[in-house]
Chains A and B, each alone.
Chain A
């Protein structure tokens, strides 16, 4: 996906500019931030090849510092940052990455029944797309979970969708009104500014229903991009966090994951053939890329 005029492509170039500037302003950032920055760099490259110059500097700075620790990042961030490290070629980090990937299969059971297991399996074994047809498995979910008023119930439904569809790479058949209910849950989450939950709902909607326009939600995300290229309006949260961290570091802590997820979601909403994990892990997985 390198269409320079698409919305997610333009948004990612702006995000790359923010990353480049913010990273150069931060000093001795923690491994968690380093992984977040690498993951964001990787998705920026995926969405807009013109961002290469901006993000390659960030990647080489991080690798030169040799500050990575894959175990401290969340699984998605660790694995997407791993892809960035592998693409960058030789670095001192390669050996720790090698150990991490070897341990991954042992740490996380490669179960196909939980989301982390599915992600780990896709990272190690690669991703293939399964087109939908009448023989696709029928997914049945207790719809009352989406009106129980409990966020953990919504997350249970999301995990089922992510697992069953392998994050949108395997077609399933699903009956109405599950996609509509998930979309409603997503808008509810966005309206309370729970962006990670809202975006996760929207991606799940894409995995279930390739036709639904989700235009209101795409607009919401597009207009959540700040002038500097980062996503989300978190002035108060950053100010509060600045009591503990430096301002620049506080901003990275809050905005790196949200910006990463915003680009991921915008891209999957905009181009229904784009799947982040397929792009990042390829058809043979990260192990084969080393």
Chain B
């Protein structure tokens, strides 16, 4: 199987992304959880800073699967910083009552375990919350159930979410929305289901998807070409990863999309988000603008790292 990126293309993309992440590590800094004492714990909601921090961790977790990346000194630096931030910010503080933070705490716990920094007492806290019988019994979509289930399984926690076949049948994968009407939200549903059912490309999806497999592959390809036309680099990267999860290889459309991502990587290393592409980042003052830009571009940039990992680990 050929790699999605040429070796020099991949080198430039990776170096740029890692450099940008290093420069912006402070922007991923989550709130000091044990300082938030004047809000009822049950009312504390996940915010964009916590989300960005968790997603950085999830991307770093995946680098551990690729020996070359796991040994990369810049990535080692990022991992150390992430672990230190997690400890310093007390991210699991009061988790038994901060129920809205549970999904992000589960991701962070799984990440710490994968990075070689398990926190056993947190595992017990999370398991107690799960045993209380509500986290896995809420009315949410199959996509969101699978998102949580994937990291609970990865962390070795016991839960009552349905098995993959049941979640598949509850999901849109067996009845995808017609593409001209599909929203970006629908497409994120598609990509996340594929990431987590396939463990980011490690598991062959054919046995699970059965007769739907080919149709989903074609749909993901069409969605990818549509997102290229839209210049939506966030979804382009997500769909490229999905195609890897669907065992697509040596495909010229995918190569073209990968090439486009490299072409649109900016000199400081980030991949542009939708607002950046539309030129609608217009905060008051440089600080505000920088923050807006960070929250627009960090996600596609992290996806670039996810994509490099998926591409490397499955070939």
Are B221 and A220 within 8 A (Cβ)? Answer: no
A154 to B224, CA, bound (A): 17
B68 to chain A, nearest CB (A): 29
A187 pairs with B277, CB closer than 8 A: no
Binds B, one of A119-127, A174-182, A246-254: A174-182
- Is there an interface contact between B229 and A146, defined as CB atoms closer than 8 Å? yes
Q: Does A183 belong to the interface (CB within 8 Å)?
A: yes
A183 / chain B contacts, CB cutoff of 8 Å: 222, 225
Distance in Å: Cβ of A108 to nearest Cβ of chain B: 30
A188 on interface, CB distance cutoff 8 Å: yes
Residue A191 is within 8 A (CB to CB) of chain B in the complex: yes
Contact status of A176 and B252, CB under 8 A, knowing A181-B225, A183-B225, A188-B230: yes
Residues of B contacting A146 in the complex (Cβ-Cβ under 8 angstroms): 228-229
Contacts of B179 in A (CB 8 A): 187, 191, 216
Find chain A residues with CB under 8 A from B94 CB: none
Rounded to whole angstroms, the CA-CA distance of A148 and B264 in the bound complex is 10
Say what secondary structure dominates the interface of chain A: helix
Q: Is the CB of A180 within 8 A of B277?
A: no
The complex places the Cα of A255 from the Cα of B124 at a distance, in Å, of 65
Q: Known contacts A146-B229, A147-B260: does B180 contact A184 (CB below 8 Å)?
A: no
A181 vs B222: C-alpha distance in the bound complex, in angstroms?
8
Once the chains bind, are A216 and B228 in contact (CB under 8 Å)? no
Cβ contacts B246-269/A at 8 Å (1 or 0 each) = 000001110010001001000000
Contact A185 B225 (CB under 8 A): yes
Q: B182 — which chain A residues lie within 8 A by C-beta?
A: 191
The answer to whether A219 has its CB under 8 Å from any CB of chain B is yes
Closest chain B residue to A213, Cβ basis:
B218
Q: State which residues 185-201 of A face B: CB under 8 Å.
A: 185, 187-188, 190-191, 198
CB nearest neighbor in A for B225? A184
Nearest A residue to B228 via CB reads A147
- Beta-carbon nearest neighbor of B233 in chain A: A147
Do A177 and B260 contact each other (CB < 8 Å), given the known contacts A146-B229, A184-B224, A187-B180? Answer: no
Instruction: State the CA gap A144–B262 with chains docked (Å).
Output: 12
Interface contacts beyond A181-B229, A187-B225: sample of 16 additional A-B pairs, CB < 8 Å, sorted by A: A146-B229, A147-B231, A149-B231, A149-B277, A154-B229, A177-B252, A177-B253, A181-B225, A181-B228, A183-B222, A183-B225, A184-B225, A184-B226, A187-B179, A188-B229, A216-B179
Task: Give 15 A-B contacts (CB < 8 Å), ordered by A residue.
Answer: A144-B263, A147-B228, A154-B229, A177-B225, A177-B251, A180-B222, A183-B222, A184-B224, A184-B229, A187-B225, A187-B226, A191-B181, A191-B182, A216-B180, A220-B180
